[in-house]
Every structure is written in C-alpha cells, then in structure tokens.
Amino acid sequence: MTPGEPLVRWDWIFSHLGDVGQRLGEHLLLTGIAIGIGFVLSLCLAQLVRSWSWLYGPITWITGVLYTIPSLALFAFLIPITGLSRLTAEIGLVSYTLLIMTRNIVAGLQAVPADVRESAIGMGYTDRQLLWRIEMPLALPVILAGVRVATTTTIGLTTVTALIGQGGLGYFILEGILRFFSTPLLVGAFLSIALAVAVDSALVLYQRLVTPWAR
C-alpha cells in the first residue's frame, strides 16, 4: 500500500512459511472444534425436536437470533465473562453453526419415508436402532449439506477471532492492516478463502463416498 511497493512480496511469504503453517493449523483447529461441538449440540437439539416437535419453533427462533448477531459483537459480549480466550472464540463459533445444522438434521430425519420407518419397526428395530441404522444414514445427504454450509461459514468467521488474540489466518489480515503491508493481508484473505473451498470440496468427496446410493 506504500507507493512503489509491489502488492505481493514473495520474499516475505517464503521467509514466513513457518508462520503461515502455524496460523493455518490454528485456523483448522478453531474451526474443527467449533464444527465438532456444534454438530453434537445440533444432534441433541434435533433429538429434542424428534421427541417434542413443538420445540422446533423456539429452537429455530433462539438459534436464529444467535445467527443474526454480528460475530465481533458476540465475541465482545462474551469477553467480560470468559475473557480473551479460546473459550470465547469457540462459544461464538459454535453458536453460529447451530441454526443450519439443527435445521438440516431435522429436515433430513423428517424426509425419511414413513413406510421405511414402518418396515424397520415391523422388523423389530428398537427406537435407537431405527435412528442410527435407518434414519440417520438416509438423512445423511441433507445433514452433510448442512455441515458443508456450517463449515464454510465457520472458516470465514474464524478470521475474526484474531481480533480477540486467538490467531488463525485473520492474524495476517490484521497484521497487514496495522502495518499497512498488503502482502500478509492478501495471504490471510486468500488462504481463508482457499481453505473454505478446499474443505468444502473434501466434504463433497466424503459425501459421495459415504452415500453411494444418492449419486
């Protein structure tokens, strides 16, 4: 951004490959924990809806409000309680995954044909077996579609956690802004987008492998 300075200084990138690897690792870890915890919580919420369908309204309402709150505001809101910590980052990131994943798990389970369910019950499947052996596998394409959206958006949001000192690729973006140095800025922006595309492609591949009947 300084006149005369090239937009990308490749020598900076090559001398900071270690940093890039570290920040990439942090980014993946922050995202992975959020998706993991978010998925388990969404499964629990979907189970609640499966047992008590009237809960669907309140659950989508609450997770919808969480979804609407800007990430920087949510992190800032949590700082007085949980400090500038990874816990703050993860509470924020997890709360953004709940709406999409819960809705997709519920929609996937509801789309299982009634006669399939009836056949399974007729064959003596218990409620738990019915869920894990019949309903979940059949709902898998819809569930994975939700996981894909949640993962892509979480990778983007994780860049913001750099503002509360949690590293990740947002660290380079902030460094670039604070030092008026376009190279780290572009490295951070480019890598976070590339990471989202790469992880999404990997999930598509995974989906094709585990749901051969849906091809």
Partner 1 sequence: MHSTGFLGLNGPRAPDPMTFAAAVLAWIADPAHWVGFDGIPTRVGEHLTMSVTALALSLAIALPVGLALGHTGKGGAVAINIANVGRALPSLALIALALPVAFGLGLGLGFWPTMFALVPLGLPPIITNTYVALRSIDPDLIEAARGMGMREWDLLRRVEIPVAAPVIIAGVRNAAVAIVATATLGAIVASGGLGRYIVDGLARQDQARLFVGAVLVALLAIGAELALALFERLVVPVGIRHAARAPDTWSAPR
What are the residues binding partner 1 (CB under 8 A)? 1, 7, 65, 67-77, 79-88, 90, 96, 100, 149, 152-153, 155-157, 159-160, 162-166, 170, 173-174, 176-177, 182, 185-186, 188-189, 192-193, 196-197, 200
Q: Given the complex with partner 1, which of 141 and 170 has the nearer CB atom?
A: 170
The token duo for 102 is 């819960």
Question: Quick one: DSSP state of residue 169?
Answer: T
Q: If phi over 0 gives left and psi between -120 and 50 gives alpha, with beta otherwise, what is residue 84?
A: beta
Please give the span between the terminal C-alpha atoms of the chain, in angstroms, as a whole number: 48
Contact by Cβ (8 Å): 96, 86: no
Q: Given the complex with partner 1, which of 116 and 197 has the nearer CB atom?
A: 197
Burial 155-187 (b: 16+ CB within 10 A, else e): bbbbbbbbbbebbbbbbbbbbbeeeebbbbbbb
Cα(109)–Cα(107) distance, rounded to whole angstroms?
A: 6
Least distance (Å) between residue 119 CB and partner 1: 30
Nearest alpha carbon to residue 193 among 27, 16, 76: 27
Nearest alpha carbon to residue 101 among 54, 52, 169, 152: 152
The token duo for 129 is 């077996």
Q: Given the complex with partner 1, which of 97 and 120 has the nearer CB atom?
A: 97
Least distance (Å) between residue 16 CB and partner 1: 17
Least distance (Å) between residue 108 CB and partner 1: 13
Q: Given the complex with partner 1, which of 60 and 134 has the nearer CB atom?
A: 60
Least distance (Å) between residue 208 CB and partner 1: 18
Q: Given the complex with partner 1, which of 47 and 85 has the nearer CB atom?
A: 85
Least distance (Å) between residue 135 CB and partner 1: 21
